[in-house]
Amino acid sequence: MNKQTDTFLLDSGAAARIVADIGADIATDTPPQVGISRPHESAHLHVAGTATYTDDIPELAGTLHAALGTSARPHARIRAIGLDKVRAAPGVVAVLTADDIPAVNDCGPILHDDPILARETVQFVGQPLFLVVASSHDAARRAARLAEVDYEDLPPVLTPEAAHAAGSYVLPPMHLSRGEPHRHLETAAHRDSGQIRLGGQEQFYLEGQIAYAAPKENDGMHVWCSTQHPSEMQHVVSHMLGWQAHQVVVECRRMGGGFGGKESQSALFACCAALAAWKLMCPVKLRPDRDDDMMITGKRHDFVFGYDVGHDDEGRVEAVAVEMVSRAGFSADLSGPVMTRAICHFDNAYWLPNVQIDGYCGKTNTQSNTAFRGFGGPQGAFAMEYILDNIARTVGRDALDVRRANLYGKGERNVTPYGQTVEDNVIHELLDELEASSAYRARRAATRAFNAASPVLKKGIAITPVKFGISFNVAHFNQAGALVHVYNDGSVLVNHGGTEMGQGLNTKVAMVVAHELGIRLERIRVTATDTSKVANTSATAASTGTDLNGKAAQDAARQIRERLAQFAARQAGVDAATVRFGDDLVVAGELRLSFADLARQAYMARVQLWSDGFYTTPKLYWDQSKLQGRPFYYFAYGAACSEVLVDTLTGEWRLLQADVLHDAGRSLNPAIDIGQVEGAFIQGMGWLTTEELWWNDKGRLMTHAPSTYKIPTINDCPEAFHVRLFDNPNVEDSIHRSKAVGEPPLLLPFSVFFAIRDAVASLGDYRTNPPLRAPATSEAILDAVDAVRAAVAAGATAVPAA
């Protein structure tokens, strides 16, 4: 797909440059093990179908299978649940309800408003009410449909607007302001206000939610779970059972994708499997099918924004006020930190001198929305990009020029609304490079010329920048631990607190350890994440997996290397500081040993060959009540240029070309990072174009399978897809000066949405702002086309926003 990838494999010249740069770290002059493209550690297993996911673990004798019975109503009191037919169904062993939970019926990550099984009331269509345990997966699912539930309907709240109108929120509202926004709104040369609608998104991990629990001796429980957060699963399972944390072990070798959907919402499945295993004293597996997974679990929050902006003739923002209302769903889950991140990304890459942001997490009778790649950041930044896109047409300037006029400065105009100074700004240089390499100006002129001669098919083009803050916005999550074992044959086993979901975390951590010990990557094996190995881990989230766990593993490996260096130095009668590790060799004075021989000799001399490691991110502080501080260690930057062709009769469109330049710092593994950028780009494009969540007026999600919910496929990837990494060592002391890459590139396909909007705007000679909503489905595009045509017919120069 990406014809450019191989040009990023480092040639020997580039490798030598990296040696020169990081030589000080490694005390060796042999080639580095980081900064080079290496395949994903499990790539050969993925393609052969032999990678073990949770459902592939050989089943223990006596394993039973569970299925969830769910609510058919969005909001109701439960008068009675008739379970006789369920119990009598073939293969059924037990039916469990909330009454069977021995301790706490809650699996919420922050507040305690998330029942595992609903008891007196149900709050959304799809909410779990009971658990059927049967001899087979099929028998459990068939039986779960036979319940007779007597509902007393209560009035539901089905949209964020309705929740906001009713003042119904899952958390208190959040407010952030700087300067005098309202005074400057009054005095600005131009003022515009309107509403922006932005849809949610289903994570659509290829491997669905799953948990498999087995009781162990002396009141113990082992849970294999597809989760980004094993320690949280340990915590909720032990709470539910009224146990201590040390009684529960949670293990995850890998996920077939998480995308945020398994940060908190794996909890329901872990708890239900463990409840049944505890009750029946046998292994129990719970694997919902795709439709049930989509009906039960939360998604990316959809948002409605109301804005009021004042700007000058050049399009520079003088003041902006924005009201953000998210669809939290029926419970808080992670909606608070998601809203915080939305607020802290409204600025995107722009200096906003006077600003007011008000965030409301609307409580609705729908699935409880949760983390999804970007975690509110994409939603907040999208609103600002939409506002700037409007301003450009209002003042009649090129949208890129208006964006540039508003960028954060260097040394001035560089403090974010939340009080963090932007110290690592590279967006000017990055945009210069992309504007030139994509030939933006010439192609923009060409789209104008094409459109003048083409009445139905219209082209559009747009460049959008990204600035994304890296660190958990809850300070104490920014810690990690690792355990590194060197066996006496010189092979190495690494365990750390992060989870592998396809993003290449284990590969990067293995590369860091190989580099530290000066050994070949093949000597290193990374094992399953396991709460009995590294304790109190954070979720693998906020893109921080490598930043945190890479540093922790480096710390562990350094301690082992130091002990080995001391040992080798004693043998050779030299100073330990002169011992060199590299190329699988250790050189100390005249002594020259293979790493394996040194490990064996050190073992015989009773040197400790394993170590733990720990890391906490420096410089962070955050006052959540004031929304002020330094929530982010650093920022990652990027920009993309997209060109589309839109059929204004059918609303169909194609992405013709995308040019992407993304800042992964000094990339640890360019091949994996480019893969992350490509994947995030296409995933974000799906969010903003074809993926539409639609609930009917009874609160039932009708788009709960791939037949009705359209994610992108290979056919939607542009033929010309040029993804490059921007060479930019992190100014902060991150792991080998790399930058987190998991989430920031999800914002790059804003350029696709605004290119579509540019194409539609051509129908009004670029003078009216098309009221295009997101996702820009064909239907939404046709609505915008009609609105622009109507505005032109009415002689208007501007139409209201979406």
Catalytic residue ranges? 743
For residue 361, what are the CA distances in angstroms to 121, 123, 346, 697, 760? Answer: 21, 16, 16, 21, 32
503 binds, among ligand MOS, ligand MTE, ligand HPA, none (CB under 5 to 8 A by kind): ligand MTE
**How many whole angstroms separate alpha carbon 437 and alpha carbon 434?**
5
In SS3 terms, 8-39 reads as HCCCHHHHHHHHHHHHHHHCCCCCCCCCCCCC
545 binds, among ligand MOS, ligand HPA, ligand MTE, none (CB under 5 to 8 A by kind): ligand MTE
State whether the Cα torsion 590-596-599-602 is positive or negative.
negative
User: Contact between 372 and ligand MOS (CB under 6 A)?
Assistant: yes
Q: Is the peptide bond before 353 cis (omega within 30 degrees of 0)?
A: no
From residue 475 to residue 504, the character string flagging contacts with ligand HPA as x (rule: CB under 6 A) and all else as - is --x---------------------------
User: Contact between 263 and ligand MOS (CB under 6 A)?
Assistant: yes
292: nearest Cα among 226, 209, 233, 200? 209
Quick one: which of 505, 755, 772, 785 contacts ligand MTE (CB under 6 A)? 505
Query: Of 254 and 704, which has the nearer Cβ to ligand MTE?
Result: 254
State whether the Cα torsion 524-529-535-539 is positive or negative.
positive
User: Contact between 260 and ligand MTE (CB under 6 A)?
Assistant: yes
546 binds, among ligand MTE, ligand HPA, ligand MOS, none (CB under 5 to 8 A by kind): ligand MTE
**How many whole angstroms separate alpha carbon 34 and alpha carbon 457?**
47
Query: Of 480 and 609, which has the nearer Cβ to ligand MTE?
Result: 480
User: Contact between 339 and ligand MOS (CB under 6 A)?
Assistant: no
DSSP code for 702 = S
Query: Of 260 and 283, which has the nearer Cβ to ligand MTE?
Result: 260
- In what side-by-side order are the strands of the sheet with 128-134? 92-96, 128-134, 64-70, 284-286, 211-216, 220-225, 248-252, 529-530
CB 518 within 8 A of CB 505: no
User: Contact between 235 and ligand HPA (CB under 6 A)?
Assistant: no
Q: How many CA atoms lie within 13 A of 535 on its CB side?
A: 4
**How many whole angstroms separate alpha carbon 603 and alpha carbon 189?**
76
**How many whole angstroms separate alpha carbon 28 and alpha carbon 22?**
10
Question: Per CB under 6 A, which region of 63-71, 318-326, 512-520, 544-552 contacts ligand MTE?
Answer: 544-552
User: Contact between 542 and ligand MOS (CB under 6 A)?
Assistant: yes
Residue ranges with strand state E in 420-491: 457-470, 479-486
337 binds, among ligand MOS, ligand HPA, ligand MTE, none (CB under 5 to 8 A by kind): ligand HPA
In this structure, the strands spanning 220-225 and 248-252 are parallel
User: Contact between 371 and ligand MOS (CB under 6 A)?
Assistant: yes
User: Contact between 758 and ligand MTE (CB under 6 A)?
Assistant: no
Query: Of 531 and 538, which has the nearer Cβ to ligand HPA?
Result: 538
341 binds, among ligand HPA, ligand MTE, ligand MOS, none (CB under 5 to 8 A by kind): ligand HPA
User: Contact between 620 and ligand HPA (CB under 6 A)?
Assistant: no
CB count, 10 Å around CB of 626?
Answer: 11
Quick one: which of 346, 468, 472, 567 contacts ligand HPA (CB under 6 A)? 472
Total residues binding ligand MOS (CB under 6 A):
10
Quick one: which of 474, 528, 574, 792 contacts ligand HPA (CB under 6 A)? 474
User: Contact between 106 and ligand MTE (CB under 6 A)?
Assistant: no
CB 474 within 8 A of CB 525: no
- In what side-by-side order are the strands of the sheet with 174-178? 174-178, 355-363, 317-329, 303-311, 190-198
Q: How far is the CB of 38 from ligand MOS (least distance, A)?
A: 23
User: Contact between 633 and ligand HPA (CB under 6 A)?
Assistant: no
User: Contact between 258 and ligand MTE (CB under 6 A)?
Assistant: yes
Q: Which residues contact 788 (CB under 8 A, 6 or more apart)?
A: 760, 761, 763, 764, 768, 770, 799
**How many whole angstroms separate alpha carbon 494 and alpha carbon 484?**
5
Residue list 617-646, contact with ligand MTE (CB under 6 A): none
Quick one: which of 375, 386, 615, 635 contacts ligand MOS (CB under 6 A)? 375
3-class state of residue 527 by DSSP: coil
User: Contact between 544 and ligand MTE (CB under 6 A)?
Assistant: yes
Q: Say which amino acid occupies 355.
A: V
**How many whole angstroms separate alpha carbon 504 and alpha carbon 524?**
15
Q: How far is the CB of 257 from ligand MOS (least distance, A)?
A: 10
Query: Of 351 and 375, which has the nearer Cβ to ligand HPA?
Result: 375
User: Contact between 298 and ligand HPA (CB under 6 A)?
Assistant: no
263: nearest Cα among 238, 236, 244? 236
797: nearest Cα among 192, 221, 17? 192
User: Contact between 776 and ligand MOS (CB under 6 A)?
Assistant: no
User: Contact between 283 and ligand MTE (CB under 6 A)?
Assistant: no
Question: Per CB under 6 A, which region of 48-56, 154-162, 358-366, 539-547 contacts ligand MTE?
Answer: 539-547
**How many whole angstroms separate alpha carbon 784 and alpha carbon 777?**
11
From residue 493 to residue 532, the character string flagging contacts with ligand MOS as x (rule: CB under 6 A) and all else as - is ----------------------------------------
CB 644 within 8 A of CB 654: yes
Residue list 348-377, contact with ligand MTE (CB under 6 A): 373
User: Contact between 683 and ligand MTE (CB under 6 A)?
Assistant: no
Quick one: which of 73, 262, 300, 341 contacts ligand HPA (CB under 6 A)? 341
Quick one: which of 68, 144, 198, 541 contacts ligand MOS (CB under 6 A)? 541
Question: Per CB under 6 A, which region of 140-148, 501-509, 515-523, 696-704 contacts ligand MTE?
Answer: 501-509
Question: Per CB under 6 A, which region of 60-68, 138-146, 466-474, 661-669 contacts ligand HPA?
Answer: 466-474
**How many whole angstroms separate alpha carbon 701 and alpha carbon 695?**
4
Residue list 80-119, contact with ligand MOS (CB under 6 A): none
Residue ranges with strand state E in 83-160: 92-96, 121-122, 128-134, 148-153
The tokens of 202 are what? 């289903």
For residue 495, what are the CA distances in angstroms to 206, 532, 557? Answer: 25, 11, 12
Residue at shortest CB range from ligand HPA: 542
Phi, psi of 128 (to 5 degrees): -65, 135
The tokens of 107 are what? 């699996």
Query: Of 375 and 622, which has the nearer Cβ to ligand MOS?
Result: 375
User: Contact between 283 and ligand HPA (CB under 6 A)?
Assistant: no
E strand or H helix at 162: helix 160-166
User: Contact between 502 and ligand MTE (CB under 6 A)?
Assistant: yes
Residue list 514-543, contact with ligand HPA (CB under 6 A): 539, 541-542
505 binds, among ligand MOS, ligand MTE, ligand HPA, none (CB under 5 to 8 A by kind): ligand MTE
From residue 705 to residue 744, the character string flagging contacts with ligand MTE as x (rule: CB under 6 A) and all else as - is -----------------------------------x-xx-
CB count, 10 Å around CB of 343?
Answer: 24
Phi, psi of 327 (to 5 degrees): -90, 100
User: Contact between 130 and ligand MOS (CB under 6 A)?
Assistant: no
User: Contact between 330 and ligand HPA (CB under 6 A)?
Assistant: no
Residues that bind ligand MTE (CB under 6 A): 257-260, 373, 501-503, 505, 540-546, 676, 679, 740, 742-743
Residues that bind ligand HPA (CB under 6 A): 263, 334, 337, 341, 371, 375, 472-474, 477, 539, 541-542
Residues that bind ligand MOS (CB under 6 A): 228, 260, 263, 371-373, 375, 541-542, 743
